[in-house]
């Protein structure tokens, strides 16, 4: 029985541990903080708990739109944060149970590689040494920082820090308009905070389809969220009544004042101080180099999740973790990234998979574009959720769907139909021919597929 040592208990590490036990390996998992990693403790789950409170606040403000009488008295921020903590704690306990249930040995402490098979673990004044036959490194990521004067703690909060604010600020400036930035903008704006986003690139959520990103920008501005794009931050200063973010926009010098400033400029692989270079692993700056089998440059050592860069998504990390331990256990598996869905949990939500229209054009692929707007969907109108659209990118050569982009209600759920279609190499005709229940929010997917063929019914 092979002994697999896993460094890191986040979505890559703990999932890898369970799969390794299913493959009849002995498993030791080393985690310096809490099981679940960044995603569960400081990322995906706590932010979604806060976003749920934001959604309820938004609905409560608009009760009269639905013929319901009531009075919105505001948001009790400490209670919101307490609820978030309860959600996180419940799920952490769930993972702890899974470790015990699956027979995974968990060692609490900070690990450091002594060699490609040995990890020294600082358990708080005491050193344990764990040696295995195979090593899987899944140490996740840490908030990135800007090399800008004043853009450090305590002047600027990280995306980790802001999750535990004990009070609701009157105003907030968010540096970075990517996924993390716009989700925090949604949370704090809905709670009653005045929010400004400063983004260096020409548009927010720059990895999304340009048309989808423009729809989101319009929706956020309707909520009085101020957005500055093409804006490079030059300084964050502290004044008596708060913070000042200074930035350049073209030739213009601008500044915005707020009570708090949050840096949401992304995340870096958590690779420092854990002995990676000493163990001989080939690096690309902060990230560990790994191939599609999650093999590193050192035989018997695998790496997965945010540590190897690429798509910093929890579900990608989990999939990579499964691939890593399958190979560590003597199997043969490779990671593919062609049909990975990604989501933005704003209101409206975004769900996307595959190529954008621009990416397809850059690759020289002739495309057909199918679109359908939610304002023509009966269920969306009945729900009072008319913003958004479904956009499909179809290869004109064979009519296969190569990209799907949704902005609208429940986009994060609906995108999986398109991910499955891409995984199975389905055509627009096949998706359009599949009977979708009426009235549902999934009908626009069918209509968009038909639109790519020029036969949409309700357009």
> Which of 3.50.50.60, 1.20.1630.10, 3.40.50.1100, 3.40.50.2000 would CATH assign to domain 161-265?
3.50.50.60
Q: State how far the Cα of 206 lies from the Cα of 195, in Å rounded to an integer.
A: 19
Q: Do 161-265 and 342-452 fold alike per CATH?
A: no
Compute the average pLDDT of residues 86-107: 97
Helix (H, G, I), strand (E, B) or coil at 408: strand
Active-site entry in 101, 405, 416, 438: 438
**pLDDT tens digits, one per residue of 173-211:** 999 999 999 999 999 999 999 999 999 999 999 999 999
Compute the average pLDDT of residues 67-90: 95
| DSSP result, 75-129 | --HHHHHHHHHHHHHHHHHHHHHHHHHTT-EEEESEEEEEETTEEEEE-SS-EEE
**pLDDT tens digits, one per residue of 42-73:** 999 999 999 999 999 999 999 999 999 999 99
Statement: residue 295 has pLDDT above 90: yes
pLDDT at 396: 97
Q: What are the C-alpha distances in Å from 307 to residues 6, 139, 287, 289? A: 13, 6, 6, 9
Domain 342-452 has CATH 3.30.390.30: yes
Beta pairing class for 26-31 and 3-7: parallel
Domain ranges of the chain: 3-143+268-328, 161-265, 342-452
Statement: residue 370 has pLDDT above 80: yes
**pLDDT tens digits, one per residue of 310-336:** 999 999 999 999 999 999 999 999 999
pLDDT at 339: 95
The mean predicted confidence, pLDDT, of the chain is 96
Compute the average pLDDT of residues 277-292: 94
Cβ-based burial of 167 (10 A; exposed 0-12, middle 13-18, buried ≥19): exposed
Whole-prediction pTM: 0.94
Q: State how far the Cα of 230 lies from the Cα of 200, in Å rounded to an integer.
A: 5
pLDDT at 153: 83
Length of the chain: 459
Residue 298 banded pLDDT, cuts 50, 70, 90: very high
Statement: residue 126 has pLDDT above 90: no
Compute the average pLDDT of residues 324-351: 97
Statement: residue 1 has pLDDT above 80: no
| Contacts of 49 by beta carbon, 8 Å cutoff, 6+ apart | 83, 84, 87, 88
pLDDT at 55: 96
Q: 3-143+268-328: which CATH topology?
A: FAD/NAD(P)-binding domain (3.50.50)
Residue 406 banded pLDDT, cuts 50, 70, 90: very high
What does the block give as tokens for 76?
């009790």
pLDDT at 251: 87
Please confirm, yes or no, whether 438 is among the known catalytic residues: yes
Q: State how far the Cα of 441 lies from the Cα of 365, in Å rounded to an integer.
A: 30
* Cis bond before residue 154 (omega within 30° of 0): yes
Statement: residue 278 has pLDDT above 80: yes
């Amino acid at each position: 029985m092979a002994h697999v040592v896993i460094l890191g208990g986040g979505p890559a590490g703990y999932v890898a541990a369970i799969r390794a036990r299913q493959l009849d390996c002995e498993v030791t998992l080393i985690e310096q903080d809490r099981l679940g990693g960044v995603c569960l403790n400081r990322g995906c789950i706590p932010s979604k708990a806060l976003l749920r409170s934001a959604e309820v606040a938004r609905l409560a403000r608009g009760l009269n739109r639905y013929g319901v009488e009531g009075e919105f008295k505001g948001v009790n921020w400490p209670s919101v944060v307490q609820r978030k903590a309860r959600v996180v704690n419940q799920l952490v306990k769930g993972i702890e149970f899974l470790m015990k249930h699956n027979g995974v040995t968990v060692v609490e402490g900070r690990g450091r590689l002594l060699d490609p098979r040995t990890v020294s673990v600082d358990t708080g004044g005491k050193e344990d040494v764990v040696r295995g036959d195979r090593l899987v490194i899944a140490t996740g990521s840490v908030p990135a920082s800007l090399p800008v004067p004043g853009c450090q703690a305590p002047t600027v909060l990280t995306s980790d820090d802001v999750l535990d604010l004990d009070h609701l600020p009157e105003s907030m400036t968010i540096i970075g308009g990517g996924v993390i930035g716009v989700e925090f903008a949604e949370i704090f704006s809905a709670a009653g905070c005045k929010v400004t986003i400063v983004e260096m690139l020409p548009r927010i959520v720059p990895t999304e389809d340009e048309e989808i990103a423009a729809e989101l920008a319009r929706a956020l501005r309707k909520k009085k969220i101020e957005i500055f794009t093409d804006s490079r931050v030059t300084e964050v200063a502290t004044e008596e009544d708060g913070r000042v973010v200074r930035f350049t926009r073209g030739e213009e010098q601008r500044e915005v004042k707020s009570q708090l400033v949050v840096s949401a400029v992304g995340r870096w692989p958590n690779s420092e101080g854990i002995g990676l270079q000493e163990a001989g692993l080939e690096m690309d700056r902060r990230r560990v180099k790994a191939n599609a089998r999650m093999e590193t440059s050192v035989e018997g050592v695998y790496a997965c999740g945010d540590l190897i860069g690429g798509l910093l998504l929890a579900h990608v990390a989990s999939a990579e973790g499964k691939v890593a331990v399958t190979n560590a256990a003597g199997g043969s598996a490779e990671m593919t990234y062609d049909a990975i869905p990604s989501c933005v949990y704003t209101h409206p939500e975004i769900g996307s998979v595959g190529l954008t229209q621009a990416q397809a054009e850059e690759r020289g692929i002739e495309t057909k574009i199918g679109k359908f707007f939610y304002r023509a969907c009966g269920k969306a109108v009945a729900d009072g959720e008319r913003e958004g659209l479904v956009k499909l990118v179809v290869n004109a050569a064979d009519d296969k769907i190569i990209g799907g982009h949704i902005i609208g209600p429940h986009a994060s759920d609906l995108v999986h139909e398109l991910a499955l279609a891409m995984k199975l190499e389905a055509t627009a005709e096949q998706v359009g021919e599949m009977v979708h229940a009426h009235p549902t929010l999934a009908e626009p997917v069918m209509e968009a597929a038909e639109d790519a063929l020029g036969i949409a019914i309700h357009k």
